[in-house]
Structure 1
């Protein structure tokens, strides 16, 4: 312990994941200049380990290797060991995940990357067992081999380092296209072609993309839904792809039928076996998509799952500062899923013979279990249709009794750190769902969370990424500012308070000032003053969360509509063009970019003029929220306020002293309507009849 490197430095961190490793015999460093300086001083390679608190295989590797005195001794002797919470430092994680992909390996967590003292990667993997098994070498053997190669095979290490760094730099920017005046980089016909191609990848029986494992892929299914709506509802394959998937997700084991909320993904093709961790961002995206599809289908199943998930968020995911916490762990008492699964005898003991028999039949509870070791995962995917109203009420009572018992178990670990980008996703989802289903408590939670994140800004107006235990830390990323700008616009469109529009404009200004890629058009993921990343990247690829650049296309499109400032539309077109060339290479990760490009091109601008508390104003607003209109932009306008001069409805107001609605497309507006039924008819027609002459903008 006498050397500067000779201790574990994670005890002073706030991340629950890093604190999980604070007692390891490994001499962990947090990522930062001090760790890199020590690696250079000792000329030791860096062992970079990246994970997160809810990660099952991270726990497994920790128990096998990082808690082992023997393995730790080798790590401490041979490497400078750096531990990173990928949720706190997505900028770091993304770079090294991409490096792993360049090595021809599938990414994931835990990520184990070996780097030069400058932090430049030369080899890596994900989980390594200790001892050797699963066809993988033992981690201790890996450590000795890598350290030996670093010492004795400098040329090979340098070749790997240079090749990876060159490739990372080459891929740090998107592939742009030249756009002729009056045209767009992503033509509307492309969206339908992509949707048709994607629909062929959907499992027609169980839904989802491909086979196991299955992720909800909400941005993909939004693309399919949008194309079904835009195609005049003629292509049944697109509708079925979305509704079959959502039905199976909502009734499968990936959903927590007792407590609400969705797990991150299913490990099987039938959505039975979840990876039990619950992530804030997954639930936000599923609430958004379910709400959008419910607006057309009016599915009682979707409405129920939305309500249960939003209520779960308000009940279990509110952190100490009023914003939303990050995750629930997959494990409890050292076992994956132990908190959630049931043995048949347990259910019999809680519910009694008659009720247990009914419940077990509905939820596929078997005497020998439907999963491993006699355990049952509750699900309804064998018969996903809802039962009669009386039977569903009976099931709700039985679920409540089981939940009361489950609540007495040892709970999974709760990662209560607050992340600005994930909060932005949930704030937008709650604001939208609150407006659609008239649930004021959801909106109150969304506004409280927004105000909390908004207070986490530096003197220059930039957001911090993370908060826990009263400490805000880590510079905000593109995703933080983009998702919070989107959240601000969701609150503005559903409530009309001007401060949210101002906040969205302010966050966009921050991005233009500190994250912009000059004439190239897109935004970098990290700010210009980021000094501890080896590459600044700018791309439009969705990951587990929507792309920040794709999200900003939607933010800029809405700001153009709501402010009338042409510069926002011009900026949105430049962002699209900056990445449109990647469509031919691989369109699958570009769904958010495409979806928001369609918003820019097919925007439906809806203006409702009237006193905010007037019942007739509310009726008009409810008519809008009763339709699935992914390309709508709503402006709630008090009678004494004015629209920007370039808006197609500028100068228009209430008719006959009654709240009035205008629907505008392609710079022309419908005749004014004062009845909710008339507004619904215009929205259902899909175009603005009659209307005024087109106005310049």
Structure 2
């Protein structure tokens, strides 16, 4: 079969794909029909992978894909397929791993050349239209690949088949079970500690990413072994990020990464997943330190999410673009005159708390950031600074806004729902918990036959879901159960776990595949073991099963989670630093904590202590006086005729605690 010789992206649900709908390139979305067309015409595939907020994706689109001459070369030689990596991370991960196996540095836009059967034989990332930056020009690349395809086709097909086999062995294989041990996490945390930049936080060098999976490893090491150095690495990193240019000080929220080692110049795109993970970590940090910086940034970030990222059904959009009016960071940056116009007589007060930074290689306007003293002054004078920032926010609202990618992703929303529910408990903000519940309901309402979609945009849904969607949403359901006491969330979590088993479980019962069994357009079904900016699908699934097993006391589910974790650790041992999400979730599974509190809801002193002391390892179950309590390990049912808190680690429970101060001491991590 052959598809119409025109661009076919106009009707796609992805905003990123629709950004390319007017290109003169004859783009197709990734589909069985597009793959069939390549086979019929015996043409190689030019695969271009990106996402809506990606700056260099926009650059390559403007330079090459909007160029009639270059588009003509693409149309003449190739079947051109566009992929939104956020819609199809399964496709993205296969070909990103292929590029890595070729010895090339990955990134987006990802540009890969495939045989008509979808096997990769060469690739790269961004290519300029003509040779520069020491990189070959895109037209030169296209012509060279076409020549190689015509003259060396058999050799290319053979090497492509070997490469895909290698990638499948890396990403899909079943390995012997590994040993689950807390020492694995502690050794990993020690290794990460050696990478920490003790001046600026984060990992040494540039660019600098928040790297939530690494930060979680360090935090767990502190919780489990009392390593205060690991705790301090996380706190330093968070404080530096939240004062740096990577944080949007006017509107709230974290940008994706910093291009420099001082967190000053961000890549200005703002992603839902980064901010979900920031909220969770800042919540832990506030509980551990009482530093008001973390509370302020949590409130600002949730205000931004509520104001700018909620969609009509209560769930949250994916991202905000790095660019506005054709320029990266234009929406977020300021010069001295613009600040003077915005503040008039208040400018000196603002300058006490913020400065403008313009590093040597930055071509845009200066960026707002704070030094350590300014950060501390803001915390001390928060109400005054908040009023000043509100003026700047109103002034910024007059500008052309960055584009918003409106698609709702189930897994990213699951991460945020969990964070909102946890922060809502810690800060007594029922409105945050309500937002989490509305987002959860919005995702579930889009399900069909009990199956989640991966992506939702208005009436358009992308089925089937990925295993990461089920992992994140199961964890979100358990977090909402903890926050509300509504057992319907546990029933929903169990139903989602059944769908995960049915569509993603492997034949050996050794784990799960990222793509569903009825996804017919994937060249390889991969496990989803490798972390990106968020924990891997496998890591999220193990955490979800561990938390659901602890919440329900289901020993069979716990044993199942242990089996999945052992197989995952067998695979993760080959490349631990790329799979810390698996190590973190296995640590949670090995040391689950369960806290059951029986108390009068009108005098919830014990509950207040639990809420003020969040612990990623712990599941909290609140039972009203006279209610029905769950069984503790050993099938012991706590009495519900009097208040008490029952803390259990694995199969061992401590005596009941009735004094809030004693519970506080019990729940506080012990420093080493």
Provide the residue aligned with 1:414 in structure 2.
Answer: 404
Selected match of 1:622 from 598, 603, 608 = 608
Provide the residue aligned with 1:315 in structure 2.
Answer: 307
CA apart distance, 1:651: 2.0
The answer to whether the 8 A contact 1:174-1:539 is kept is no
Which is worse superposed, 548-557 or 58-67?
548-557
Provide the residue aligned with 2:254 in structure 1.
Answer: 262
Provide the residue aligned with 1:94 in structure 2.
Answer: 93
Unaligned runs of 5+ in 1: 180-184, 688-697
CA apart distance, 1:223: 1.1
CA apart distance, 1:82: 0.8
Task: Write out aligned runs for 1:153-172 (5 A).
Answer: 153-172=152-171
Provide the residue aligned with 1:546 in structure 2.
Answer: 535
Change in Cα spacing, 1:121 to 1:244, as seen in structure 2 (3 Å) is: same
1:230 partner SS: helix
Change in Cα spacing, 1:81 to 1:438, as seen in structure 2 (3 Å) is: same
CA apart distance, 1:201: 0.3
- Structure 2 distance, partners of 1:319, 1:450, is 12
- Structure 2 distance, partners of 1:449, 1:210, is 37
Task: Write out aligned runs for 1:487-566 (5 A).
Answer: 487-519=476-508, 521-566=510-555
Deviations 1:498-536 (A, max 9, x none): 111111111111111211123351110011111100000
Provide the residue aligned with 2:469 in structure 1.
Answer: 480
CA apart distance, 1:177: 3.8
Unaligned runs of 5+ in 2: none
CA apart distance, 1:602: 1.7
The answer to whether the 8 A contact 1:454-1:463 is kept is yes
Paired residues, what number? Answer: 670
Is structure 2 residue 275 aligned with structure 1 residue 283? yes
- Structure 2 distance, partners of 1:33, 1:231, is 51
CA apart distance, 1:357: 3.2
Provide the residue aligned with 1:356 in structure 2.
Answer: 347
Provide the residue aligned with 2:565 in structure 1.
Answer: 576
Deviations 1:551-583 (A, max 9, x none): 222222222222222221111111111122345
Selected match of 1:333 from 315, 319, 325 = 325
- Structure 2 distance, partners of 1:41, 1:69, is 26
Provide the residue aligned with 2:11 in structure 1.
Answer: 12
Change in Cα spacing, 1:519 to 1:72, as seen in structure 2 (3 Å) is: same
Provide the residue aligned with 1:63 in structure 2.
Answer: 62
The answer to whether the 8 A contact 1:276-1:330 is kept is yes
Task: Write out aligned runs for 1:375-414 (5 A).
Answer: 375-381=365-371, 383=373, 385-387=375-377, 391-414=381-404
- Structure 1 distance, partners of 2:488, 2:360, is 52
Change in Cα spacing, 1:602 to 1:114, as seen in structure 2 (3 Å) is: same
2:514 partner SS: coil
Provide the residue aligned with 1:52 in structure 2.
Answer: 51
List 4+ stretches of structure 1 deviating above 4 A: 368-371, 643-646
1:171 partner SS: helix
- Structure 2 distance, partners of 1:26, 1:196, is 50
Provide the residue aligned with 1:462 in structure 2.
Answer: 451
2:463 partner SS: strand
Change in Cα spacing, 1:384 to 1:188, as seen in structure 2 (3 Å) is: farther
Change in Cα spacing, 1:531 to 1:373, as seen in structure 2 (3 Å) is: closer
Change in Cα spacing, 1:42 to 1:174, as seen in structure 2 (3 Å) is: closer
Provide the residue aligned with 1:324 in structure 2.
Answer: 316
CA apart distance, 1:624: 0.9
Is structure 2 residue 414 aligned with structure 1 residue 424? yes
Selected match of 2:591 from 585, 602, 609 = 602
The answer to whether the 8 A contact 2:293-2:379 is kept is no
The answer to whether the 8 A contact 2:597-2:644 is kept is yes
- Structure 1 distance, partners of 2:13, 2:307, is 23
- Structure 1 distance, partners of 2:50, 2:486, is 39
- TM-score (normalizing by structure 2): 0.96
Selected match of 1:208 from 202, 221, 229 = 202
Task: Write out aligned runs for 1:656-667 (5 A).
Answer: 657-667=641-651
- Structure 1 distance, partners of 2:459, 2:505, is 31
Selected match of 1:673 from 647, 657, 661 = 657
- Structure 1 distance, partners of 2:583, 2:561, is 12
CA apart distance, 1:175: 6.1
Selected match of 1:585 from 574, 597, 613 = 574
1:172 partner SS: helix
- Structure 1 distance, partners of 2:121, 2:469, is 30
- TM-score (normalizing by structure 1): 0.92
CA apart distance, 1:254: 0.5
- Structure 2 distance, partners of 1:474, 1:61, is 29
Provide the residue aligned with 1:691 in structure 2.
Answer: none
The answer to whether the 8 A contact 1:434-1:443 is kept is yes
Deviations 1:327-349 (A, max 9, x none): 00000011000000001111112
Selected match of 1:448 from 396, 420, 438 = 438
Deviations 1:109-166 (A, max 9, x none): 1111111112221111111101221111111111111111111111331232122111
- Structure 1 distance, partners of 2:215, 2:302, is 21
- Structure 1 distance, partners of 2:215, 2:61, is 36
Task: Write out aligned runs for 1:631-642 (5 A).
Answer: 631-642=617-628
Is structure 2 residue 242 aligned with structure 1 residue 250? yes
Deviations 1:286-316 (A, max 9, x none): 1111111221111111111111111111111
Deviations 1:22-63 (A, max 9, x none): 111111111111111211121111111111111000000000
The answer to whether the 8 A contact 2:455-2:462 is kept is yes
- Structure 2 distance, partners of 1:649, 1:345, is 69
